[in-house]
Structure 1
Amino acid sequence: MKVVILAGGMGTRLSEATQTVPKPLVEVGDRPIIWHVMKIYAAAGFDEFVICCGYKSHMLKSYFVNYFAENYDMTVHLGENKIDFHGDASERWTVTLVNTGLHTMTGGRIKRIAPYVNNETFCVTYGDGVIDLDIRKVVDFHRSSGRLATVTAVPSPGRFGILDISQSDAVTRFHEKPDNEAGWINGGFFVVEPEVFNYIENDETSWERAPLENLARDGQLAAYQHRGFWKPMDTLRDQRELEALWNSEKAPWKVW
């Protein structure tokens, strides 16, 4: 099963760092945040990734092209035009990087990668949030629900959009960023069927608006409720909090 990662935004709320690198390459510890996200999926056995690039896409491509050179010891044989890398390759990922446009919205980015998921069930997430989640359980839940999409719902910290969830785990309404409401919110870890492409109109479509709202209206959006750790890296303060957790060697999202 492919994992689609939305990594093309400009990260304006983290502008202190994203002026020089795309947000997914902002580091927590000595690794980019997107590496942490990918490790969460790989821990559950998902190691095929499709990355939706946009802002500073060349830097994301360079990171993966030069992954071994950046992360492993090596011996360079100049006369033989040969490089030996030392150590076991712990990441056996297949990574497809797709330029989905500089100004394309999240829904448009998902629609653009349709040819790369082979008309199969796939995961979708953002390249800037971590969670102590067993992705395999979410996939199993999605399959048992029989719906076109599943969103991982997390308790609202009071500043995100709200999910209304029925007793049968169906999302009955998806409403984005209301004022003075509390409840469950979109945690950003999805499992979806290829039919969701029909809910996305074009590059201007935000995944968090019409597609999710209409899936909920049609009874096709399920919610996997997660009460554990979850944190997006929206601001410099968030990055520093995640950095402190990682350096404490007690990072809750380190499920590998």
Structure 2
Amino acid sequence: MIQERWYELQERIRQACLRSERDPKDVEVVAVTKYVSLETTREALDTGIIHIGESRVQDAIPKWQQLGDRGKWHFIGHLQTNKVKDVIGRFHYIHSLDRISLAKEIHKRSQNHRPVPLCFIQVNVSGEESKYGIQPSDLIPFAKEISQYGSIEVCGLMTMAPFTEDPEEARPVFRELRLLRDELLKLKLPHINPYHLSMGMSNDFEVAIEEGATFIRIGTSLVGKELD
């Protein structure tokens, strides 16, 4: 079943890339497995999916212990500072760097680990109070401060658009993140190389791709949902 969804998803990605004159190879899919079992996560990897996304440390660790040597693991949820020690050394990417206290803890915990996890700065472009992330106006000062931490490598920006029935309503959010990325790239700050854009989920990933997404996060429509 995952295999069929995977083929369908790849075709939709290809079509979105055609519309925006992009190479499908530049778009990576993070399979969000936080609601599925170890067995289903294994099936996703067996299908050929490389990137696995988890958002709860306590649920992710048992899967990682069995499957951690396969694929690349992404922590995509809000990361509590006291959980950083459990994430470093297990996850290749952290998508939710959104405050200085978290940056300091990642820096401290990463000094004895190589390679260090690649981090996305989470930006609350939509301004929704229910979402985490720094404000767009705070991005440059935030990036300048964390660029002083040698054990943090920023590879991109992440955002979550409002959930709407019409994906077009998310387009301004994705476009704004791309513009913020372009502005940040021009500064050429040390340890800040934000080429990647983590944006777009099952309901709006095609619009996100058209606006420059390099990582899309796909959950239920790809791997299903089994767990509470």
* TM tier relative to shorter chain: under 0.3
Q: TM-score normalised to the size of structure 2?
A: 0.27
Query: Bigger radius of gyration, 1 or 2?
Result: 1
Higher strand share: 1
